[in-house]
Chain A
Amino acid sequence: MISEKMIQALKEICGPKFVSSHKTDRILYSYDATRKQFLPDVVVHPADARAVSRIMALAHHHRIPVYPRGAGTGFTGGALPVCGGMVMGMSRMNRILDIDQENLVAVVEPGVVTGDFQKAVEALGLFYPPDPASLKVSSLGGNVAECAGGPRCVKYGVTKDYVIGLEVVTPTGDRIETGGTTMKGVVGYDLTKLFCGSEGTLAVITKIILKLLPKPEAKKTMLVVFDAIDGAAKAVSAIIREKIIPATLEFMDRRTLDCLRQTAGLSMPEAAGAALIIEVDGDREFLDKQAQRILTVIESLGVLENRVANTFEESEEIWKIRRAISPSLKKLGLEKYNEDICVPRSKLPEMIRRIETISDQYNLPIVNFGHAGDGNIHVNIMADKADAEQMAKAEHAIEALFRETLALGGTMSGEHGVGIMKAPYLSLELSNESIHYMKMLKKALDPHNILNPGKIFPNAVCPLPGEIK
């Protein structure tokens, strides 16, 4: 519980309108896309870094857990107040402070919506590539904290590849700056990279310096249907061996196509075993040639049909298929465990085979699609919520999935992070020594374990007993 005196102090810092311990507000900030709910005791919305720093100093002094929150769209529970305490919503800090067209650098506050930022820089002929599926609503602060990815990462890299500097508030309330606005900089440890992907457990991000690129002039999209997943996976390697890095290389497996056929009316040959959506971008004059080269090198890999978009509308038609996947999976009426494993791209066909074995072994449908270009597969294990046995089997299937992923040199999470959802499996991937070093780091920066406690590490202990909904 948080004392009335503390609430008053917070109101003084944030303004009375922006502090609430009312039950409705506690409910409104109790969830994220994991659909799990934990009630915080109080919700605050600071206006600036100074307020964040004062709140953290108070929280540190009084041992109150604090959970920074962007748009609350995470899949692993990064924003969930699992130990009770204070949710710190960053939505008021939503200004784009600068877009420097000479140095191709932008400075933003953490609450800026990723999609809005992309529109703003694209209006100036610039480009910020990271494109998580939630980009229309997710915040840049959340993207940095989780190191968000997206389809374009195969060519352009992930969020951390664009973060060159940060201003953060530490768990003890200090305000520090890391990196800067230069492309190079090797003075001291690279704290910028440390905070990227730290899931809000090491610092509260209050300002972000981002690197920008010139916007590619045009793009060309194609859909290629293969008779088997092997052909599609080999096509990925063949394209890259041809020295072409497409902007996106998305794949859908047989089960995904079946599901689209059943629930979204997709017309595709019955023999289709997999499909790739390939998009190349760059100068318009080269694109047709590039598309042609791609079609030539993959020709012999079991291609059943291909469709090359010549207009924006035709390209949208292709992307519609990709976007129809999630809704069509939901129409199956099953509970969906959405994992985001990542393997070296050459291991993709082997990984898919192993997933099929798991699917047979546990007798659960598993639907795979995702970012073939970087080996990042969205594995959707489907189970009937009403069937306790199936739900238990799904848990076992997840563990089996992680074990196979790691056996192939992969990782349990390419994009979503650990949070609370993957914390129990952490020691499958990381050695005890690695985990120990991470914990030492956490302890050094956050001695009372008040910043986003209960995340990442297995069996995490709450600093305060939380009220669990």
Chain B
Amino acid sequence: MKNLAQYQEWFQACVKCGACRATCPVFKVENQEGGVARGKIALAQAMMDGEVFAEDRLVHDLSQCLLCGSCTNLCPNQVPTIDIVAAARMKVAQEKGLSGFGRGVATLLTHKKAMDWMSKGGDLASRLLCRQIPETSGLRLRFPVPGIPNERTFPKPSFKPFLKRDIRQTVSCSASHRVLFFTGCGINYLYPEIGEYLVRILNFMGVHVTLTDEQGCCGLPALSAGAGDAVETLAERNLKALKIHAFDAVLTACASCYGALAGIYPTLGSGYQPFAEKTRDVMDFLMDMNLAGRLASLPRSEDRIQVTYHDPCHLRNHGLTRAPRQLLAALPQVDYVEMTDAATCCGLGGTFSVHHYETSQKIGSQKAKHIAQSGAEIVATACPGCIIQLQDNLNRENIPARAAHLLELVCQALPVK
């Protein structure tokens, strides 16, 4: 990973105009200069100059970032604040060691068997995640997930991870398109049904999907926690395990995985370039195959439901905002409505919501209100992380709407064969 010193030039590119104050979701809630990109870059610079050290206050300010990238989109100089904050967190981890939680994240994510085990634990793991296991339990020490408070609603991890399931496909692998599905942890362990929708839709389009248990975590949560070594380990493992040269495309249905594979990996070395180039968000891929056209030719349903769309940051930052909306608009059972600030972060932000659950809730509540105002029954999105956060906030605000992956709605619309 690039270290903080390598961003020195970018520190100068931040002209301290303060434009980032207009968009930063954390600043909007906290109203403090330490929350906003301009402040973080000043602190990163001070770290490099040896004026401040990795003590609690600095760690706190650096942790106050969702890594959503909205500041960069608005910045007149396009200063990559996400990368700078990630590098600053790594520097903190080097000086101070990873936080207990960061260590937990890194350990857990780099040990695939542990992830599988947790998932197999089913109810046990679910209780662990929801803090229903006594403080003293060895399980908690082994898998520290501090800060996920009791009241957080969390999907129950599935009994059997997606990649351990026996997925039957209706298209053989000799088909014209050869695609590999990079599931990511969210789909593999929490929402395996999303993986099943993806396979069904691609099969409908005549595409066989290669599934392999060789893949691991994309590394984004580790990046968020400042565990740079873990990011490199995970990326290297994925690169080695997945024989991507054999495929036309590596598909993701998780925006965060997309952000890691297409955005972070190329910064790790030129060897990752082909990987990044082949990585496609599944919706974007399906649009190219004219799924929207096929959907639009289906008879419009009589009683349609109102659906709105939430932009996951990691798709928005790569300009992937149109395909999902076009798909939604083409769905025969859906009336698509746009909500206010659809492109604003949901407030999850990797490890952010663990360290700052209250702030994360405040950001999420605003999002939930916008969903309610849109009148939508379903808020569709394209990232398991966003689904967790959106649903949690809808529940807390007593809004009857439901969060769902866009693939679920597409799958519903397919004619039964």
Distance in Å from the Cβ of A181 to the closest Cβ of chain B?
A: 28
Do B43 and A27 have beta carbons less than 8 Å apart? yes
* Bound: A34/B76 CA distance, A: 15
B17 to chain A minimum Cβ distance, whole angstroms, is 5
**Complex Cα spacing A364 to B52, Å:** 39
Residue of A nearest to B45 (CB): A27
Stretch at the interface among A17-25, A120-128, A392-400, A429-437: A17-25
- Across the interface, do A31 and B34 meet the contact criterion of CB distance under 8 Å? no
Q: Does B46 contact A (CB under 8 A)?
A: yes
Q: Are B16 and A32 in contact (CB under 8 A)?
A: yes
Known: A72-B33, A327-B77. A27 touches B17 (CB 8 A): no
Residue of chain A at shortest CB distance from B31: A91
A23→B51 contact, CB < 8 A:
yes
Q: Decide yes or no whether A357 CB sits under 8 A from chain B.
A: no
> Contact: A33 with B15, CB < 8 Å?
yes
A137 touching B76 in the complex, CB below 8 Å, given contacts A23-B51, A24-B57, A27-B46? no
| A290 in contact (CB, < 8 A) | no
Stretch in B18-26, B92-100, B221-229 touching the partner: B18-26
Q: Within 8 Å CB of B34, what residues of A? A: 24-25, 28
Given A27-B43, A27-B46, verify A33-B17 contact (CB < 8 Å): yes
Query: Which residues from 2 to 35 on chain B have a C-beta closer than 8 Å to any C-beta of chain A?
Result: 13, 15-19, 21-22, 31-34
Known contacts A33-B17, A71-B21; A28 and B77 CB within 8 A of each other: no
* Given A24-B43, A33-B17, A327-B76: A137 in contact with B22 (beta carbons within 8 A): yes
Does A427 lie at the interface of the complex (its beta carbon under 8 Å from any beta carbon of B)? Answer: no
**Known A115-B22, A134-B17; contact A326-B42, beta-carbon cutoff 8 A:** no
Interface residues of A in 1-56 (CB under 8 A from B): 22-25, 27-35, 37
The verdict on B39 contacting chain A, using a C-beta distance below 8 Å, is yes
From 86 to 102 in chain A, residues with beta carbon under 8 angstroms from any chain B beta carbon are: 89, 91-92, 94
Give complex CA distance A401, B17 in Å. 24
Given A22-B57, A23-B52, A330-B76, A28:B43 Cβ within 8 A: yes
A25 proximity list for chain B (CB < 8 A)? 34, 57
What separation, in Å, do the CA atoms of A442 and B348 have in the docked complex?
50
Min distance, Cβ A220 to any Cβ of chain B, angstroms:
26
User: Which residue on B lies nearest to A45, using beta carbons?
Assistant: B32
Task: Give how many A residues have a beta carbon under 8 Å from the other chain's beta carbons.
Answer: 29
Taking CB atoms and an 8 Å cut-off, the chain A residues in 187-227 that contact chain B are: none
Q: Closest CB of chain B to A107's CB: distance in Å?
A: 21
Asked if A30 contacts B21 (CB within 8 A), the reply is: no
Whether B193 is near chain A, meaning CB under 8 Å from some CB there, is no
A61 at the interface (CB under 8 A from B): no
Complex CA–CA separation, A122 to B31 (angstroms): 24
Asked whether A134 and B33 contact (CB < 8 A) given A27-B42, A27-B43, the answer is no
Is A35's CB under 8 angstroms from B15's CB?
yes
Q: How far is the CA of A94 from the CA of B31 in the complex (A)?
A: 10
Query: In whole Å, how far is A19's beta carbon from the nearest beta carbon of chain B?
Result: 13
What is the minimal beta-carbon distance from A94 to any residue of chain B, in angstroms? 7
Cα–Cα distance between A138 and B22 once the two chains are bound (Å):
9
Q: How far apart are the CA atoms of A72 and B27 in the complex, in Å? A: 14
Q: Which residues does chain A contribute within 8 Å of B17, judged by CB atoms?
A: 33, 73, 134
From DSSP, what is the main secondary structure of chain A's interface residues? loop
For B27, the closest partner residue in chain A by CB is: A137
- Give the contacts of A61-92 with B (CB-CB under 8 A): 71-73, 89, 91-92
Shortest C-beta distance, A91 to chain B (Å), equals 5
**Cα–Cα, bound, A423→B387 (Å):** 55
Instruction: Find chain A residues with CB under 8 A from B13 CB.
Output: 330
Contact B77 A330 (CB under 8 A): yes
Tell me the minimal C-beta distance from A104 to chain B in angstroms: 27
A137 in contact with B42 given A24-B52, A28-B34, A29-B33 (CB within 8 Å): no
- CB neighbors of B among A163-195 (8 A): none
B58 CB within 8 Å of chain A: yes
Complex Cα–Cα for A141 and B396 (A): 36
B284 within 8 A of A: no
Q: With both chains docked as a complex, state the minimum distance between the C-beta of B62 and any C-beta of chain A, in angstroms.
A: 10
With the chains together, A210 CA to B42 CA distance in Å?
A: 35
Taken together as a complex, chains A and B put the C-alpha atoms of A94 and B76 apart, in Å, by: 26
Least CB distance from A184 to B in Å reads 37
Using Cβ atoms and an 8 Å threshold, which residues of chain A touch B39?
A: 28
Given A24-B61, A327-B76, A31-B16 contact (CB < 8 Å): yes
B33: which A residues are within 8 A, CB to CB? 28-29, 72, 89
Q: How far is the CB of A102 from chain B (nearest CB, A)?
A: 29
User: In residues 277-292 of chain A, which contact B (Cβ within 8 Å)?
Assistant: none
Say yes or no: A30 contacts B19, CB within 8 Å: no
Q: Which residues of B contact A35 (CB under 8 A)?
A: 15-16
CA A468 to CA B32, docked complex, whole Å: 23
Of all chain B residues, the one with the shortest Cβ separation from A94 is B31
Q: A29-B33, A326-B76 are in contact. Are A137 and B18 (CB under 8 A)?
A: yes
**Nearest Cβ distance between residue A38 and chain B, in whole angstroms?**
13
In Å, the complex CA distance between A57 and B18 comes to 31
Alpha-carbon gap, A330 to B14, bound state (A): 11
**Residue-by-residue, is B52-73 near A (CB-CB < 8 Å gives 1, otherwise 0)?**
1000011001000000000000
A32 CB contacts on chain B under 8 angstroms:
16, 18
Contact with A along B321-349 (1 / 0, CB 8 A): 00000000000000000000000000000
Kindly state the separation between the CA atoms of A72 and B34 in the bound complex, as whole angstroms: 13
CA distance A326 to B13 in the complex (A): 13
Please name the residue on chain A nearest to B14 by beta carbon.
Answer: A35
**A contact residues around B77 at 8 Å (CB):** 327, 330
- How far apart are the CA atoms of A72 and B22 in the complex, in Å? 13
**CB-CB contacts below 8 Å: B196-236 with A:** none
Shortest A225–chain B CB gap in Å is 25
CB-CB < 8 A to B15: which residues of A?
A: 33, 35, 330
Known A-B contacts A72-B33, A94-B31, A330-B77; the reply to A27 vs B18 at CB < 8 A is no
In the assembled complex, the CB of B121 is this many whole angstroms from the nearest CB of chain A, namely: 41
Given known pairs A22-B57, A24-B52, A35-B16, the reply for A137 and B43 (CB within 8 Å) is no
A23-B51, A72-B33, A327-B77 known; A136-B19 Cβ under 8 A: yes
- A35 CA to B41 CA in the complex, in Å? 12
Cβ–Cβ < 8 Å partners of B57 in chain A: 22-25
- Bound CA–CA A72/B16 (angstroms): 9
Q: Distance (Å) between the CB of A51 and the closest chain B CB?
A: 17
Alpha-carbon distance A307/B17, docked complex (angstroms)? 32
User: Given the complex, which residues of A lie within 8 Å of B61, measured CB to CB?
Assistant: 24, 28
Q: Taking CB as reference atom, which chain B residue is nearest A20?
A: B57
Smallest distance from the beta carbon of A277 to chain B beta carbons, Å? 19
Bound-state Cα–Cα, A115 to B43, Å: 27
With known contacts A23-B51, A24-B61, A31-B42, A73–B18 Cβ distance under 8 A = yes
Give CA–CA (A134, B77) in the complex, Å: 15
Question: Can you name 15 A-B residue pairings with CB atoms under 8 Å?
Answer: A23-B57, A24-B34, A24-B58, A28-B34, A32-B16, A32-B18, A33-B17, A34-B16, A35-B15, A71-B18, A73-B17, A91-B31, A137-B18, A137-B22, A330-B76
Given contacts A24-B46, A25-B34, 9 further A-B contacts (CB under 8 A): A24-B34, A24-B43, A24-B57, A27-B51, A34-B16, A35-B16, A92-B31, A330-B76, A330-B77
Binding site for B on A (CB under 8 A): 22-25, 27-35, 37, 71-73, 89, 91-92, 94, 115, 134, 136-138, 326-327, 330
Chain B residues with a Cβ under 8 A of chain A: 13, 15-19, 21-22, 31-34, 39, 42-43, 46, 51-52, 57-58, 61, 76-77
